[in-house]
Amino acid sequence: MQRFTLVLLTLLALTACQRGDPHSPVSLRKATFKEMLKSREAINAMLTGAKPYKADSVLQEAIKLQEKSTKPWAYFAEFTVNNQSDAKQKSDSADFHAAADNMQQQSNALKAAAQTGQEDRIRASYKAVEDACIRCHQQFRPG
C-alpha cells in the first residue's frame, strides 16, 4: 500500500510540474493565440451560416482580433534565448517579424472591412487573415 501511495504521489507531482507557470511567456503567448482563435471562429461561424450573421457582432470580434494581433509576438524572444520553445522562430528572424507584421496588417484590414458592414469585403479580409495564420504555422510552427 505504501508503494502504491508513493507512486500515486509521484505521478501527481509530475502532473503538476507539466502545467507550468501561467505567467510564463509560453503560457501568455498560447492564451493570446487562443483568444484570437475564439474571435476568428466566431466570425467564421457567422460567415458560413453556422450562426446568424450580425454585422455588429462581426465588428466586435474583428476589433478583439485586431487588438490581440499585436500581443503574442513579444512573447517569442524570451523562449528562443532560453530554448524553451519548439517554435522555429529566431529572435533576429526577418521572416518571422514579416509574418507577424502581415498578421497585424490583415487584422487591421478585417477590422476596417467590418466597419463598412459589407459582407463581401469582410469575407475577403477574413480569408486573408486565415491565410496569414496558415502561412505562419506552415513556416514556423513545429511538427
Please report, rounded to a whole number, the percentage of residues in the chain having pLDDT higher than 70: 75
Calpha distance 125→65 (Å, rounded): 12
80/141: higher pLDDT? 141
Q: Write phi, then psi, for 141 (nearest 5 degrees).
A: -85, 130
Q: Domain 23-140 maps to which CATH number in 3.90.1300.10, 3.30.160.160, 1.20.120.10, 3.40.50.2000?
A: 1.20.120.10
Q: What is the mean pLDDT of residues 19-33?
A: 88
Q: Which of 29, 20, 42, 41 is nearest to 69 (CA)?
A: 29
Is 10 a residue whose pLDDT tops 60?
no
Domain layout of the chain by residue ranges:
23-140
Please report, rounded to a whole number, the percentage of residues in the chain having pLDDT higher than 90: 58
Q: Is 136 annotated as belonging to a binding site?
A: yes
Is 28 a residue whose pLDDT tops 80?
yes
Q: Is 17 annotated as belonging to a binding site?
A: no
Residue 94: per-residue pLDDT = 78
Is 97 a residue whose pLDDT tops 70?
yes
pTM of this structure? 0.78
- Grid coordinates in use for 33? 493565440
**Confidence category of residue 79, pLDDT binned at 50, 70, 90:** very low
Q: Is 97 annotated as belonging to a binding site?
A: no
